[in-house]
Amino acid sequence: MALETDTAAKALPTGPGGSSRNARHAWKTVKGVLGVLVAVAFTFLGLLAITFFIGRVVPIDPVLAVVGDRAPRAVYEAARIEMGLDKPLIVQFFHYVGNVLTGDLGMSVSTGRPVVEDLKRVFPATLEMATIGIIIGVLLGVPMGVYAASRQGSLIDQVIRVVGLLGYSVPAFWLGLVGLALFYAKLQWVGGPGRIDIFYDGVIEPVTGLLLIDSLLAGDTEIFFNALTHIALPAAVLGFFSLAYIARMTRSFMLDQLAQEYVTTARVKGVSERLVLWRHAFRPILVPLITVIGLSYAGLLEGSVMIETVFSWPGIGNYLTTALLNADMNAVLGSTLVIGAVFIGINKISDVLYRVLDPRAR
């Protein structure tokens, strides 16, 4: 993507609209946006190529992978014709891209419904958990990183460093299980697996699909608090992983800033340490932090696959693993595609935000 903007910058002096500065600026912006869009389009096409490759080329018998080995002969033949396996690969690929663009991801063998409908149903649950997770991660991780940087080399800094590394070395599913054993079974502080206690299930009509918001909209605080005790633990576990990453990056950004001369100047002038940290050093790192938070939010989608399996959380991760175990290939590829697309989307958005917000990157 850097490539496109480079060429845009080089084309600038000879580009049309060179007469006035404003027009030139507008042209540059348009070109930049076009470049990003083209790059995004290519990335999505690449993503489709990967899922197509996984679905049609890797399995020895793609039909069997889709219908399962217990399917009757007639179903097998119908699927074979429907998948167009008699046609050349490239034709099949374009057919596949067309299907995806029109919102057709095929039928799920395990639920018997179109994969798109299933995904629409399960996605809000994941979104809800990941959002609370990232809020926990930002609220705790940023102050931890700033604090560690301000006390570089101290014991607390070492502790925060190790916490940061633990984020890379603790299996998410294991932490979830240990959390369940401790906080649910032993201390009974939180609700068990699932989004809500079983006797509340289906009471609230889904509006947004986000249970916390839906229950508030319905004015049912009892269900709201029940849902809160259920989401607390999985979201906290997810939050730990974003916290570890955010704290690590914040610390590193802050150390860069604190080593600069303007910080020394501020200190010499007698500015209090608090102000030096939060007003002087912290402001410039806000922009790169946005990218880090975006990346971490996208990473939580990945983490949620494991966490949802442990907590029987009815989100996209659980849907994906269930599909994996049933060899339900359409559902697997559909979820992969959606997770990949959201992942790429968040990455690109934080990338664009970075350029818009940081005057040096413009």
Partner 1 sequence: MATTRDWLLDDSPSSRLQARLGRSYRLSRALARNPLAMVGAVIVLTLILVALFAPWIATHSPVGQDLAMRLKPPSWDNWMGTDELGRDIWSRVVYGARITLMIVALVAVLAAPVGLVIGAVAGYFGGWVDRILMGITDIFLSMPKLILALAFVAALGPGIQNAIIAIAIATWPGYARIARAETLTIRNSEFVAAVELQGASSLRVIVNHILPLCTSSMIIRVTLDMAGIILTAAGLGFIGLGAQPPLPEWGAMISRGRSFILDQWWVATMPGFAIVIVSLGFCFLGDGLRDVLDPKHGDRQ
Q: Which stretches within 53-206 are classed as H helix?
A: 62-67, 73-82, 89-101, 115-150, 155-169, 172-179
* Helix H or strand E segment including 350: helix 329-357
Is there binding between residue 50 and partner 1 (CB under 8 A)? yes
Nearer to partner 1 by Cβ, of 137 and 214: the residue is: 137
Q: How far apart are CA 207 and CA 227, in angstroms?
A: 16
Torsion over CA: 239, 241, 246, 251 (sign): positive
Is there binding between residue 178 and partner 1 (CB under 8 A)? yes
Is there binding between residue 189 and partner 1 (CB under 8 A)? no
- Identify which range of 9-17, 50-58, 79-87, 104-112 contacts partner 1 by CB under 8 A: 50-58
To the nearest whole angstrom, how small is the minimum distance from the Cβ of residue 294 to partner 1?
13
- With CB under 8 A as the rule, give the number of residues binding partner 1: 53
Is there binding between residue 59 and partner 1 (CB under 8 A)? yes
87-116 residues near partner 1, rule: CB under 8 A: none
260-319 residues near partner 1, rule: CB under 8 A: 298-299, 301-302, 305-306, 309-310
Among 173, 218, 263, 354, binds partner 1 (CB under 8 A): 173
Both tokens of residue 2? 């850097």
Q: How far apart are CA 149 and CA 34, in angstroms?
A: 39
Taking alpha carbons only, the member of 42, 261, 255 closest to residue 161 is 255
Nearer to partner 1 by Cβ, of 28 and 176: the residue is: 176
Contact 48, 41 (CB under 8 A): no
114: β partners: 107
Among 47, 97, 217, 290, binds partner 1 (CB under 8 A): 47
Nearer to partner 1 by Cβ, of 181 and 356: the residue is: 181
Taking alpha carbons only, the member of 318, 141, 316, 122 closest to residue 236 is 141
Is there binding between residue 258 and partner 1 (CB under 8 A)? no
Q: How far apart are CA 223 and CA 29, in angstroms?
A: 48
Q: Which residues bind partner 1 (CB under 8 A)?
A: 42-43, 46-47, 49-51, 54-55, 58-59, 65, 165-166, 168-174, 177-178, 180-181, 184-185, 252, 255, 259, 298-299, 301-302, 305-306, 309-310, 320-321, 323-325, 327, 329, 332-333, 336, 339-340, 343-344, 347
